[in-house]
Chains A and B, each alone.
Chain A
Amino acid sequence: MALDNWETVIGLEVHVQLLTKSKLFSGAPIAYGAEPNTQACAIDLGMPGVLPVLNQEAVKMAAKLGVSINATVNTRCVFARKNYFYPDLPKGYQISQYDLPIVSNGHLDIVLESGEIKRIGVTRAHLEEDAGKSLHEAMPNASGIDLNRAGTPLLEIVSEPDMRSAKEAVAYLKSLHALVKYLEICDGNLQEGSFRCDANVSVRKKGAEKYGTRAELKNINSFRFVEKAINLEVERQIGILENGGTIKQETRLYDSDKNETRSMRSKEDANDYRYFPDPDLLPVMITSEFIADIKNNLPELPDQKRERFKKSYAISDYEAVILSSSKEMADYYEATTKLADPKLSANWIIGELSAYLNKHSLDIAESPITPALLSGLLNRISDNTVSNNIAKKVFEKIWETKKTADEIIESEGLKQVSDSGEIIKVIEEIMKNNPSQLAEYRSGKDKLFGFFVGQVMKAMGGKANPAQLNELLKKHLA
């Protein structure tokens, strides 16, 4: 396959479950994992005669997102019914927004691997209610319907087809994920389906103007799977096209177990949705005061945070991008900087801490080493109590025991030696035991300086103050 001849075009539709207490149109609670159908009230069940009333908080959250992606928050938006039959859709229609969504024309900047910033257009974001769930394990040849999730507020965020690779798609998703968590409008839990992604994927010959026919990939519930699923789909489409075939516009399901995408038959004939304005709901009017209030209460966003980190903490672009990449990361970093040197904090969080977290598949919010514990260690580096190398050992101990750096340094006797007399004693000992190396050094083989540093450090269990050791060693070897 000549992949190089083809360009991938990706647009993403992300369903963000909004962090409201109650549902979009009813006062039923929202909690994941409750007993089936215990959180579905008459409205969620689509009982006869009951009516929807709109949750203000959901509107606020949608507007918050709109404001933070520089989009238009429309002064008038309208709820419409999307009509289709499905057992998890109790009313036979989903209340959504169609031609007049709450948010339109925004954009989100993503940082590519190269460090370059790319702007991705966001066509629209609209409010809609979630459906329930069909469970297939309950009985043979039957499905069980749990409507607890029915009516949960979703914000569907639709991007422009601006992404050109699976990696860009992932970068966009990660940025959006960070943003909704910064805004505290979504818990971002991918496993529980709070942040779901459908990808519209097509390919076209490089240089072609027209988009190819797209397939919609559904049900991709991790960033890793997004990349895999898109790459699979791109290969599938190029394979078909290179063999003279044509792409069918269809909905495909990504199966992570089999690592394949397959056509979803159930969605095939359901595409005449007969949208029309929901007569049970009136147009939603959003005033400039409402928007102003949201703007005034907006938290600091990732871009702003990145710039501020660079300025206030004198850290690099690269460090600032990483440290502002998620709210948890940024919060962790800021908590640490309050207690320790910001530059050193950045080094350690991006270096040692991230490596440990990765190894243990933990999120920074779950780190056993808290900002207080980490800063305790960093301060011992700053005041020369321990060297960088010893600090790494201490770090490991803190990770295992959750004890403070001071406790570990004390109990393990890892305190750095800065007493010249003590260091000189060891230097003299080492010089005595290595006469030939000493002679070579003195005859001009400067490289051996490192050898002596190593020997002294080894003898002192690494505890010698490195700068002081260097200075003393130079004097004595001369």
Chain B
Amino acid sequence: MHTKSLRELSSDLHAKKISSVELTQHYLDRINKFDKDLNSFITVTPEHALNLAKKADELIKQNKAGVLTGIPMAQKDIFCTQDIKTTCGSKMLDNFIAPYNATVVEKCNQAGLVMLGKTNMDEFAMGASNETSFYGPVKNPWDLSCVPGGSSGGSAAAIAAGLTPIATGTDTGGSIRQPAAMCNLTGLKPTYGCVSRYGMIAFASSLDQGGPMGRSAEDVALFLNVLAGFDEKDSTSVEREKEDYTKNLNNPINKLKIGLPKEYFTADLNKDIHAALDEAIKIYKKLGAEFIEISLPNSPLAIPVYYTVAPAECSSNLSRFDGVRYGHRCKNPKDLLDLYKRSRDEGFGAEVKRRILTGTYVLSAGYYDAYYLKAQRIRHLIRDDFTKAFEKVDIILGATAPTTAFPIGSKINDPVSMYLADIYTSAVNLAGLPGMSIPVGFQHKLPIGMQLIGPHFSEAKLLNTAHVFQQATDFHTKTPGGF
């Protein structure tokens, strides 16, 4: 049951082979059984889920159901859910019951999706291993001693272990794609402005984008149909015609031009990952795609730029957590300054504090030009590199992450080495492009992800490219043992 695709689940529901309540219960049971080991959920909401499932069954009975009505899913705990705890993986929000729904949550509700609970994540989405969560690290279902990637590590682990068919993620520098790669999933970070950020707790506003995670490009396309769309509550949401992302999934790709950036295929690239990508390229060539070597000369700067811009924005975005109106407040503050400083010290974990300090520094008097402004100028150059590349090619292909899943604890004390996990992904956020990760093989039983990057609003093309590949391969159908 839990390995079925969304299409299969949908037709079972519509054919009344199974009810949404039964399906939901099935997943809730699995969460009960397996999540003690995985720690992929922060909050499980069985009652809420079964209520939604009942409503979904009613709609199915009345023939008023949509494609995804009655299908269980999980929300990353960064999306505000009305009357349900929303923690963002932080002690700061351990007591935070949001008084409103994020637009993404509203859209899922409208589509009849059944939320099973809220998934674990790096604190405020700051991390690449899910180890910075106040609620403890998430384990990778492929190897419980390894991280699932981050920051959407809970969503990734939950899908990989079959605790939910799909889940939302958010991606600021790679947080959907990198955990998708490490857990053998398909994850899409949409074009900036494609999915509403309203009610999604901000990390770095000009980089954050919510998106779908699932087992296949088709599942992700179906899910993106729900998530995407203009929202008047988000000034950065782009007003454009609604797309059906499943429409072009099966288009032939025999005229597709795929770019291989030479900066992504250097001697530094892990040999096994390189080999897996070479295999994938062969498959694409067989499918008729043409490969062109391209250059993204400024891509080595993506990490420095990203780790300047993202902390700058985060330092300001996280100022609202001050212990006054909601969230953690220290006991017996002796004065106002003490209230602020102690509440924030107690409420935030080490990585969040590091980023706030960095961001405050790069924006402060005397350093703004050398860091923040310089980074935003180089960001322009990085974006221009992509623009030029997309004059020659339709899609860019490369690795999603420099390594497969690494052991829990191996990088957490060396922040800079952890930051390098975003080396192939963060440029995409800086340029606001859509990018996705799909499974392309394994390195010692640990999944390898391949990244596909397209021009702005080329999600349908990316999904088509991924789907055609998945029709020709079976990497994405592999699941970890023991679940």
Contact = CB atoms under 8 A, between A and B. Distances in A.
A272 B365 contact: yes
B228 interface: no
A93 B321 CA distance: 12
B324 to A, nearest CB: 6
A48 B199 CA distance: 7
A50 interface: yes
A279 B102 CA distance: 19
A145 B323 CA distance: 13
A90 B364 CA distance: 21
Contacts of B199: 49-50
Nearest to B313: A279
Interface in A273-293: 274, 276, 279-282
Interface of A: 42, 45-54, 81, 83, 85, 87, 90-93, 145, 272, 274, 276, 279-282
B102 A49 contact: yes
Interface string B330-356: 000000100010000000000000000
B380 to A, nearest CB: 13
Contacts of A51: 197-198, 233-236
A282 B319 CA distance: 21
A188 to B, nearest CB: 31
B372 A276 contact: yes
Nearest to A43: B233
A280 B236 contact: yes
Contact size range, B: 35 or more
A213 to B, nearest CB: 19
Contacts of A52: 235
Contacts of B93: 48
Contacts of B315: 83, 274
Given A48-B80, A272-B365, A279 B205 contact: yes
Given A91-B320, A92-B319, A281-B235, A276 B197 contact: no
B99 A49 contact: no
Interface in B228-263: 232-236
A274 B198 CA distance: 25
A48 B201 contact: yes
B312 A45 contact: no
A48 B313 CA distance: 14
Select the residue from A93, A145, A280, A281 with max chain B CB neighbours within 10 A: A280
Interface in B60-97: 79-80, 86, 88, 93, 96
16 contacts: A42-B99, A42-B100, A46-B320, A47-B99, A48-B320, A49-B79, A49-B102, A50-B233, A51-B236, A85-B319, A85-B322, A85-B340, A274-B363, A274-B364, A279-B206, A279-B313
B294 interface: no
A276 B320 contact: no
Given A92-B319, A274-B364, A282-B235, A49 B340 contact: no
Given A48-B88, A51-B233, A272-B364, 5 more contacts: A47-B99, A49-B199, A90-B320, A274-B315, A280-B236
B232 to A, nearest CB: 7
A237 B277 CA distance: 74
A47 B321 CA distance: 9
A90 to B, nearest CB: 6
A276 B317 CA distance: 12
Contacts of A272: 364-365
B143 to A, nearest CB: 34
A281 B313 CA distance: 13
A274 B368 CA distance: 8
A48 B205 CA distance: 12
Nearest to A37: B325
A92 B364 contact: no
B109 interface: no
B236 A276 contact: no
Nearest to B80: A49
Contacts of A47: 98-100, 320, 325-326
Interface in B349-391: 360, 363-365, 368, 372
B319 A53 contact: no
Interface string B173-213: 00000000000000000000000011111101110000000
B316 interface: yes
